[in-house]
Amino acid sequence: MPQIEQLGAFYASQIFWLVVFFGLAFLIVGRGMVPKVMDTVAQRDKQIADDFAAAEQARRDADVQEEAWRARENARRSEAQAVIAEARSKAALATEGRLAEVQRGLDTQLAAAEARIADSLRAASAEIENVATDAARDVVARVAGIMVDDGAARSAVKEKLAHG
């Protein structure tokens, strides 16, 4: 059969051209393009690694700076607490002094008021005694018709007031 006989020549020519084109494709892609792509990938990997290293260094620097900042802030906070404590103690001392001064003034006023009350109480007691003496003398004079002298009436009223 003639169709089968030409298959060998036909396929041989096709296989030849297939090998030629695959060879050319291998040379162009495998030897020309792939190394360039691999170099680009390697450069990209190196750039990423360098960026990571720079980021890590920046993080370490930031940590060092943050630690220094925290130390400064803690020192400032402790200084502020000391200033606040000192101000509180000064204010407490000033308040204590003012309170002591006011207390002395109040004690003086209280003593004067107590003295006035005691004087008023003595004066009121004397007035009550005088009124009671006059009333007792008048009652005895009206009821019994006896005139009692002032000293006797006063001593009787004092005794009655003292013992109830």
Distance CA 39, CA 51 (A): 18
Task: Spell out the per-residue pLDDT of the chain, length 164, in tens.
Answer: 566 677 676 777 888 889 999 999 988 888 888 889 999 999 999 999 999 999 999 999 999 999 999 999 999 999 999 999 999 999 999 999 999 999 999 999 999 999 999 999 989 888 888 888 888 888 888 888 888 888 888 888 888 877 76
pLDDT of residue 14: 83
What percent of the chain is helix, strand and coil (3-state, nearest 5)? 95, 0, 5
As a whole number of Å, the end-to-end CA separation of the chain is 166
Which one-letter DSSP state was computed for residue 164? -
94: helix, strand or coil: helix
Residue 129: how many other CB atoms lie within 10 Å? 14
Structure token pair of residue 18: 């297939």
Rounded Cα distance, 107 and 15, in Å:
128
Neighbouring C-beta atoms of residue 18, cutoff 10 Å: 11
pLDDT the model gives residue 57 = 97
Q: What is the pLDDT of residue 1?
A: 55
Can you give the three-state secondary structure of 97-120, one letter per residue? Answer: HHHHHHHHHHHHHHHHHHHHHHHH
How does 135-164 read in b/e, with b if 16+ C-beta sit within 10 Å? ebbeebeeeeeeebeeeebbebbeeeeeee
